[in-house]
Structure 1
Amino acid sequence: MLPATETIESPLRNPTVLRLARLAGLLFGGIFAGFLVAVLVLELSMRDVDGIVYTQMRHIELVGLDVLATVTLLPTLVATAIVIAITFRNKGFARWLPIVAFALLAGVLILTVIVNLPINADQRDWIVSMPPTDWASVRDRWQISHAVRTVAAVLAFGALCLAAIPGRSAKP
């Protein structure tokens, strides 16, 4: 038991916690956004290939990309939530940047779960030599959803970067 004169300081009041959360958000958020941009470029470069080549490439993409997305998006969300918890009571525009980033990242997660992951699961079962007749419309739906979530992730990363600028960001 602590004497009456001693108090326990909340870890959320420790400036090191805020710095580490910002660093984690920037690191994982940057990797996540960059990864989504790279996949978008790859997907767009395959717009003119036939169903067999597209299916084969998707099988290769699906080997580990879902894992990479998970291990970068989830820590970004957690780190951003910590930054929000620490800075929310502060005044000024800068406190809203992590909230915007979190909302965009949550939207990415929801879109991924609703659109992209079910398509990924279906595409894993496609036979490379015999893609389904509607493969191009499935590809288009996946790519549109992916483009939306890529833009959202890049905007979220931008908001996290702006929030981390010294003098602009609020202190705990």
Structure 2
Amino acid sequence: MPNSPVAKVVRWASLFFSGVFAGFLVSVLVLELSLRGFDRHVYTQVRQVELDSLDKLAVFTLLPALITTALLVAFTFKASGRTPWLTLMALTLLVGILALTLVINMPINADQLDWNAQAPPGDWATVRDHWQIAHGVRTGAAVLAFGALIANATETSHGTRQATPMSPHDGLPAASEDSPLHQRT
């Protein structure tokens, strides 16, 4: 990964937006799992409150995370000619999240906006379960993507890693010449 000021800002932005997005999805997952103990009326009311503005937060964090992570992949490949596997994995996960959101979550969101909180549809629990399963998958993917970006940033900041693992004695101080250990050898 290049260490130019632009590349550093892009790396930081990728981490920031991916982290906020993953945290947001975890929070929604906790709320959704908490709602499982309530009836259809409460569930519908809370979902409609969620849908009032939370979709905007998702867009304002996922899209910048996608863009900055794609730029990170491009910068790394262009600068070093090597494939940035961790960043590419994060980008792939983020693209998958977008696809899952567009195919499953957003259509259900649009449908739930029209539900009457006093008389939700008879299949409300099935719809809820489909949404929550898809959301659980994308939450897991977002956390993995963020973890991959953290690992990439850590690897990048520490330079290349050692090719061989350290032995248990590496980094320990040597025995002094007058120590019993040294005198035995």
The alpha-carbon deviation at position 51 of structure 1 amounts to 0.5
The AA in structure 1 aligned to 2:88 is: I
CA distance in 2, matches of 1:136, 1:168: 50
User: In the alignment, does 2:58 pair up with 1:69?
Assistant: yes
- Deviation of 1:16 after TM superposition, in Å, equals 1.0
1:33 to 2:25 alignment: no
Equivalent residue of 2:116, what SS?
coil
Q: Secondary structure at the match of 1:62?
A: helix
The answer to which structure, 1 or 2, has the higher relative contact order (CA under 8 A, 6+ apart) is: 1
Determine the structure 1 residue equivalent to 2:72.
83
Taking only the aligned residue pairs, the percentage that are identical comes to 55
1:8-157 equivalent positions in 2, closer than 5 A: 15-89=4-78, 90=80, 95-157=84-146
Aligned-residue offset at 1:56: 0.3
- Structure 1: stretches of 5+ with no match in the other structure: 1-11
Structure 1 partner of 2:158: 167
Aligned pairs, number: 158
For residues 87 and 3 of structure 2, the distance between their equivalents in structure 1, rounded to whole angstroms, comes to: 18
Contact 1:31 1:72 in 2 (8 A): yes
Shift in alpha-carbon separation, 1:92–1:126, aligned structure 2, 3 A: same
- The alignment's TM-score, normalised by the length of structure 2, stands at 0.81
Q: How far did residue 167 of structure 1 move?
A: 2.0
2:51 alignment partner AA: L
Contact 2:86–2:151 under 8 Å retained in 1: yes
Any conservation in 1 of the 2:2–2:76 contact (CA below 8 Å)?
Answer: no
**Greater CA radius of gyration, 1 or 2?**
2
Summarize the Cα distance change of 1:14–1:58 in structure 2 as closer, same or farther, 3 Å threshold.
Answer: same
Distance in structure 2 (CA, Å) of the matches to 1:148 and 1:121 = 20
Gaps of 5+ in 2: 161-185
Cα distance, 1:168–1:50 mapped onto 2, change above 3 Å: farther
Contact 1:52/1:130, CA 8 A, preserved across alignment: yes
User: Contact (CA 8 Å) 2:20, 2:61: kept in 1 or not?
Assistant: yes
Q: What CA RMSD, in Å, does the superposition of the two structures yield over aligned residues? A: 1.9
The 1:168–1:136 alpha-carbon spacing in structure 2 relative to 1, beyond 3 Å, is: farther
Residue 52 of structure 2 aligns to a residue in which SS? Answer: coil
Q: Supply the distance in 1 between the matched residues of 2:86 and 2:5 (Cα, whole angstroms).
A: 20
> 1: distance between equivalents of 2:105 and 2:135?
7
Q: Is the 8 A contact 1:162 1:168 kept in 2?
A: no
